[in-house]
Each structure stands twice: as C-alpha cells, then as structure tokens.
A and B are shown apart, each in its own frame.
Chain A
Amino acid sequence: MNDSAISRDLIRGHIDTIILRVLLEGDNYGYEIMKSISSISQGRYELKEPSLYTSLKRLEAQGLIESYWGEDRSLGGRRKYYHVTPAGVEVYKANLAAWKLSREIIDVLIEKQEGFPS
C-alpha cells in the first residue's frame, strides 16, 4: 500500500515528460493520452484527469506543446488535440538523458551491493 503511494509520487514528477513521450508518437487529445499511458504501463499507472489537465496547461504555457481543435464532432463536443513543438522535442530529450543518469545514480545509492561494508 505504501509502496504504490511512493511510486505514484515518483511518477508524478515525470508526468510532463511522459505526456511529451506519448505526444511524440502523434498528436492526440486528452482521453487518448490517458489511455495510452495506461496501456503503455500495462495498466499499472493511471493518470487522473486533474493531473492531465494541469500538466497539459503547464506544457502549453511553456511552449513545449500547442493545441488545436479537432474537426471530428463525434458526440457534440469538439476535441482538443495537442502537438509537440520543436522546443518540446528538445526538452523531452534533455529530460530523458537526465532521467537515465539519475536512475543509474539512484540504483547504486539505494541498492545495497555485495562486498560493500554497510
């Protein structure tokens, strides 16, 4: 129970990057982004709506993504699609590199290695 709370907190810090990653596969709208995140994580992580909208708003304000209204009027409401800007691509690459480096460091820091005095 505590485990899942901790991993949710860990993931929360990377939602912006995760959304950028999903959008790099193609322009998308809110619900499909949530669905992609759920399916990529094989159902182990569900993004909640408030986090989704907050993150999209932040990314758009930073100029990392831009939005446009879709033409498909499926059931009445227009869908708002998001698209990654060149600046967004750069930030994604930087975040990915930073994450890989941090993961390495965290691994050696957290996991007790054989042969080291404790």
Chain B
Amino acid sequence: MNSLHNHVDRLFAGYPATQRNREMKEEIISNLEAKVADLMAGGMDYEQAVRTATSSFTRIDGLIDEHPPIYVNRYRLEWMQKVLFLAIILWIFTIPLRLIERTPLSFFLLGFVLVLGLLYLVLHFAWRGRALEVTAPRHLAAARRRSRIVWLLWGLFILITLLAITALRFGSNIWYGYQVKIGGPYQFAQLGIQYAKPFLTIWIPLAFQLSASLLTKHEVGDWEA
C-alpha cells in the first residue's frame, strides 16, 4: 500500500500534523484502500487501481481545519509555565551583572518572575477542575505567522542595536584610525555585557513561538471532546 500512502502524504504536505489532520489522513487512506481493493476485485491490477483511485482526489484544501477548538485553560497555563521558566533562566543570567553594573535589570526580572509565578499559581487553583474547558477555535496559521513576524522584528532589533553599540563605542576609533584599547578584564566584561544585554529580549519571540506551538498540542481531539 506504499504508493497510496505516498499519494496521501503528498496531499497533506505543508499542513501541520495536528490530531485532526492525522485522523483525516487515516480516514482518507482507509477509504482509498477500500476503493483499491474494490477495483482490484473488479479485475484491475494493483498499479492501475491505485492510479484510478487517486486520480479523482488531488486536493484537500477545503478539508483541512485551520481553526480547531483547544483546551484553552490548559493551553494558557502551560504557556505561562513555559514563559515563567524562561524568565527564571534569564534572571539567573542577569545575577552576575549586579557585580559589575549598577543596573536594576536583574531586579526587574526578579519582579517579573514573581508576578508571573503568583499569577500562575492563582490561575492554577482558580481553574482547577476547569482544565478541560473548550473555547472558541483558534487560528493556527495566524499564530504561526505572528510568531514568524515577531522573530523577524526581533532579528532586526538585534542587528540595529548591535550596530548602534559598535558605532557608539568604536565609531571614533574606526573613523580616526585609532587603535581599539580595552583596559583590562573588567572593561572587557563590561563590553561583553553591553553586547549581551539586547539578547535578553529573546524571551519575546520565544513566548510567541511557544504560544503557536502549544496551540497544536492542546487541540481538542475527536475522542476527548
């Protein structure tokens, strides 16, 4: 049944492997198998039967569900959990910054972690027993598009900030051809920190990407609903 599977795989190429799509695929394959078996019982050989069975079925555009309902509370909680985890990691990274720089960055992040953690706990208990609540369907493709755009913007932001930092620090050196001097390990660390700080914002695109990928995970399957 290999060429049949290949045909259906090609039909589904480019669509996300959500539970609904997987089930649709399984249903289509089993129906095509029945059709091929039927055509073969009528005297066709296997190759010809497969060709006949698949020839009338070359598109699935209208059949794919781009707006599946999801378990919204479970989805929100897991998303919050992941973002919280991300914030904790970033916060840990910024702790050594306090030794060198007098910035409140790490305190800001700590505050963010605490607020998010508290919110998570509150919602976790408030939604207890309502984990299986289903909401209005979400648009999967839109979420993925959003995540891609945010990554792109973030990439631009990083590029521009790095260029700006370089211009401010070394612009005159380059312009006048002076030698770049770094005073010592402390100054070197300071420079490193300056360059590293913009990367802390990576949690923003990551949060968007998580929200898109978790949508698929918390989709309501036909048999759970």
Contact = CB atoms under 8 A, between A and B. Distances in A.
Interface stretch (B26-34, B100-108, B212-220): B26-34
Given A31-B38, A54-B62, A77 B29 contact: yes
B37 interface: yes
A77 B38 contact: no
B63 A57 contact: yes
Would you call the interface of chain B mostly helix, strand, loop, or mixed? helix
A78 interface: yes
Interface residues of A, number: 19
Contacts of B28: 30, 49, 53
B34 A79 contact: yes
B222 interface: yes
A77 B62 contact: no
B26 to A, nearest CB: 6
Contact of A29 (B24, B30, B60): B30
Contact of B57 (A29, A49, A75): A49
A67 B34 contact: no
A31 B35 contact: yes
A80 B28 CA distance: 9
Contacts of B56: 48-49
Interface string B182-225: 00000000000000000000000000000000000000001000
A43 interface: no
Interface in B28-51: 28-35, 37-38
Given A31-B38, A67-B222, A50 B31 contact: no
Interface of A: 29-32, 35, 48-50, 53-54, 57, 67, 74-80
